[in-house]
Amino acid sequence: MTTPESSAPAEPATATGVRQTLLVLGASGDLTGRLLLPGLGRLLATGAVPGLRLIGSGMDGWDDERWRRRVADSFGAVGAVGPAESEVIRETRYVPADVTREEDLRSLLGCCTGPLVIFFALPPLVTARSAAALARIGVPPGTRLMLEKPFGVDRISARSLNELLAILVPENQVHRIDHFLGKSTVLNLLGLRFANRIFEPVLNSAHVACVDIVFDETLGLEGRAGYYDGAGALVDMVQSHLLQVLALLAMDPPPSLLAEELRGRKAQVLRATRLWRDDPTVASRRARYTAGEINGRRLPNYTDEPGVDPRRNTETLAELAVTVDNWRWAGVPFRLRSGKAVDAVRKEAIITFKQPTRVPDGLTGYERPDRLRIGFGPDRLGLDLNINGPGNPFELEQVNLTADFGPGDLPAYGEVLRGAFEGDPTLSVRADVAEECWRVVEPVLAAWKTGAVPLQEYRAGSAGPADSLIGPVPDSPQ
Ligand SMILES: O=C1O[C@H](COP(=O)(O)O)[C@@H](O)[C@H](O)[C@H]1O
């Protein structure tokens, strides 16, 4: 065991052949079963983490047998049934512990051998207490820490957590997870923007009218009140995932994809990001669903969902308009939106270009500007273009060029886990970036608390509140 100051740099097992240990704090929770274990199973199936040892921990009365069953079920559900996965299932253990207590953590660390990855699958306040206890006892050299969103509950708590983590390990061993950064579609933004000559010169305020980043789901709460009712759509999706997408879409080209180059560019663009008109009443909308039907499925009022506390006024749909106040983007609205239980799945970034300087007289039927659409599931790229359609050669028609590209080798969670096992923080959120994302939404959270922005209602299965900042989302190829 070392004092935190003496922590050595990460030594990834994949490079050395040493067996790594993944210690999951909060192993019986929803996140572990829904995202972490399936992602891990798929990663193991690629052979990327040979000999991994897996230890689950929590204070819910589970034992080895129950934990092993959960791991096996989660791996099985994603077809991860090869020898590497079976070996992990056979060897895995469950160690009961209160992960906020030094004694328990000390004995937990005593069960771990080899290079260690600690995954905090815990609510933010428990993560902070656990990190504080770990900071007092230290962790083995080279330990990497993985932390789920939300990272803190506001800017101040995010900063305090960053300070604790900095005591424990160097920044490049902290993996603040945003699984959108592991989505192949989101990563494709890099190739699309920086490996083609045609887009980059027009991605600026001279040519772009607005950018919409939309992640609408038809799913409702899905039994996640314990987490979601305290977070709401703004923190669950916009403050975290959608601001990361904005950063990748709006940042300047990095000279390389080395972690510090890419993360530095993202930090730079987020530092320039502010609320539209600096006014949360203009720049934000919030709403929650009432009872309705989606594709034949009946949803209750959000407030009648099991576990929801109606006094919290939790929103299930959030919209945010921001400006990226720099040379490239000044004046271009970026509108971010995410809603649950709406009428249709819309997961895309839409870049709407300005109208052509002048459409020549005699070329009729110009209705809509051209748009570039980047789909975040399915993986799809679309370009809406005005061309001379069939029939009258002088009558314009909008066509959509669509390219589908297959998903990446790994699900998003597998991808971010790979980063941690390989000691590569490129796809993780850097400390300052996590704090910047809170800074952007801070005035909105404050205005919502005072009621300055009313909480609207929308029927489950409808398009959302009528006075959306985005307006009707244009026909989507998805
Ligand atoms: O992190 C979250 O993301 C999901 C949407 O992401 P996906 O990869 O499952 O498409 C969202 O449903 C959930 O509320 C949020 O916590």
What's the CA gap between 275 and 277, in Å, rounded?
Answer: 6
Q: Note the pLDDT of residue 407.
A: 79
How far, in Å, from the CA of 18 to the mean position of ligand 1? Answer: 34
Tell me the pLDDT tens digit for each residue of 219-259.
Answer: 999 999 999 999 999 999 999 999 999 999 999 999 999 99
Tell me the pLDDT tens digit for each residue of 34-81.
Answer: 999 999 999 999 999 999 999 999 999 999 999 999 999 999 999 999
Q: Is the pLDDT of residue 381 over 80?
A: yes
Q: How many Cβ atoms from other residues are within 10 Å of residue 6's Cβ?
A: 9
Nearest CA to ligand 1 atom 4: 237
Q: Which atom of ligand 1 is nearest to the CA of 227?
A: 16
From 35, 236, 340, 376, mutation site for ligand 1 pocket: most ligand atoms within 8 A of C-beta: 236
Question: Could you check whether the bond before residue 201 is cis, i.e. omega within 30 degrees of 0?
Answer: no
How far, in Å, from the CA of 374 to the mean position of ligand 1? Answer: 18
Q: Note the pLDDT of residue 214.
A: 97
Extract the tokens encoding 314.
Answer: 């939790």
Contact in structure between 272 and 440 (CB atoms under 8 Å): no
Which DSSP state fits 239? Answer: I
* Cβ-Cβ contacts under 8 Å for 202 (sequence gap 6 or more): 208, 353
Contact in structure between 277 and 444 (CB atoms under 8 Å): no
Contact in structure between 338 and 286 (CB atoms under 8 Å): no
How far, in Å, from the CA of 393 to the mean position of ligand 1? Answer: 45
**Which residues are designated catalytic?**
241
**For residue 27, which amino acid is it?**
A
Using a 6 Å cutoff on CB, does residue 236 contact ligand 1?
Answer: yes
**Helices 102-110 and 124-137: angle between axes, nearest 10 degrees:** 70
What's the CA gap between 390 and 154, in Å, rounded?
Answer: 55
Using a 6 Å cutoff on CB, does residue 217 contact ligand 1?
Answer: yes
**Helices 184-194 and 412-421: angle between axes, nearest 10 degrees:** 80
Tell me the pLDDT tens digit for each residue of 280-310.
Answer: 999 999 999 999 999 999 999 999 999 999 9
What's the CA gap between 437 and 247, in Å, rounded?
Answer: 10
What's the CA gap between 99 and 101, in Å, rounded?
Answer: 6
**For residue 392, which amino acid is it?**
N
From 34, 36, 213, 217, mutation site for ligand 1 pocket: most ligand atoms within 8 A of C-beta: 217
Indicate the helix (H) or strand (E) that contains 438: helix 431-450
Which of 16, 18, 17, 36 shows the shortest CA–CA distance to 26? 36
Q: Is the pLDDT of residue 106 over 80?
A: yes
Question: Could you check whether the bond before residue 150 is cis, i.e. omega within 30 degrees of 0?
Answer: yes
Q: Is the pLDDT of residue 12 over 70?
A: no
Q: Note the pLDDT of residue 472.
A: 56
Contact in structure between 455 and 313 (CB atoms under 8 Å): yes
How far, in Å, from the CA of 35 to the mean position of ligand 1? Answer: 10
From 31, 34, 179, 315, mutation site for ligand 1 pocket: most ligand atoms within 8 A of C-beta: 179
**For residue 131, which amino acid is it?**
A
Q: Which atom of ligand 1 is nearest to the CA of 219?
A: 12
